Structures are given as C-alpha cells and as structure tokens.
C-alpha cells in the first residue's frame, strides 16, 4: 500500500509540474493549443459548390466544380473572368479585395503595362 501511495504522489507531482505555466506565461505543451482557423480557402483546396465564391482566397479566386469527377476546388480566374469575380467579391464578401485590376485588352496601350 505504501508503494501505491508513493506512485500516486509522484504521478500527481508530475501532472502539476507539466500543467504549470512556464516562465514566459505559455503552457508547457504549446503544440496542443489549437491554431486559429483561416477565413478563406487557398487555391486548389476543396470548396463547397453550394456556397458562394467568398470562401476562396484571392480577389480572382472562385469555386469551380467538375461535372465528371463531382468535386469542387478553388481556382484562379483567367483574364476574361477575374475582373468580374473581383468586382462581385467587392460587393458581396465580408473580406473584400482592396483593389480590382482590369485586364488589358488593347495591346498597343498595354505594352508598357505589366500584367
């Protein structure tokens, strides 16, 4: 019985030491703390096809669904689609893009312009 009491005391002391905050005020096991969730999905991540395009990051990112494979991922809009996606996100999304760049359609005017 004395051995059991000794083991119980040692185990209790270990639990108290392990759960005590360190000198910096952080817990002893920081990797157990949950990391903050992202508010949007990166390009290539699986998205919800029934939701809107606000779930995808970037001003020109939108949720695209494949009919053949029946899955949806966040994609980058091409030059014909990205400006419209960005304008829609500025109106409707809580995380609004700060600026939408209009694609250059006239080559003579766009020679000195990058993009």
Distance CA 85, CA 52 (A): 11
Task: Flag whether 104 is in a domain.
Answer: yes
Task: Flag whether 102 is in a domain.
Answer: yes
pLDDT at 115: 46
Provide the β-strand partners of residue 62: 75
Q: Is 32 left (phi over 0), alpha (psi -120 to 50) or beta?
A: alpha
Task: Flag whether 30 is in a domain.
Answer: no
Per run of 10 residues, the mean pLDDT along the chain (length 115 residues) is 55 54 54 61 91 90 87 88 90 87 72 55
- Main-chain phi, psi angles of 51, to 5 degrees: -100, 180
Q: How many domains does the chain have?
A: 1
Beta-carbon-side half-sphere exposure of residue 112 (alpha carbons within 13 Å)? 1
Task: Flag whether 79 is in a domain.
Answer: yes
Task: Flag whether 91 is in a domain.
Answer: yes
Task: Flag whether 59 is in a domain.
Answer: yes
- Structural domain boundaries, residue 92: 45-112
Residue of 51, 44, 58, 105 lying closest to 79 (CA atoms): 105
Task: Flag whether 25 is in a domain.
Answer: no
Tokens 């990058």 — which residue?
114
Task: Flag whether 83 is in a domain.
Answer: yes
């Amino acid at each position: 019985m004395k051995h059991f009491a000794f083991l119980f005391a040692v185990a209790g002391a270990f639990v108290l030491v392990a759960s005590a905050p360190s000198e910096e005020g952080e817990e002893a096991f920081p990797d157990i703390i949950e990391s903050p969730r992202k508010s949007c999905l990166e390009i290539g991540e699986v998205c919800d096809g029934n939701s809107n395009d606000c779930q995808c990051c970037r001003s020109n990112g939108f949720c695209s669904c494949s009919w053949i494979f029946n899955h949806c991922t966040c994609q980058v809009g091409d030059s014909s689609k990205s400006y419209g996606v960005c304008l829609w996100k500025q109106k409707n999304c809580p995380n609004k893009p700060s600026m939408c760049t209009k694609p250059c359609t006239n080559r003579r005017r766009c020679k000195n312009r990058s993009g």
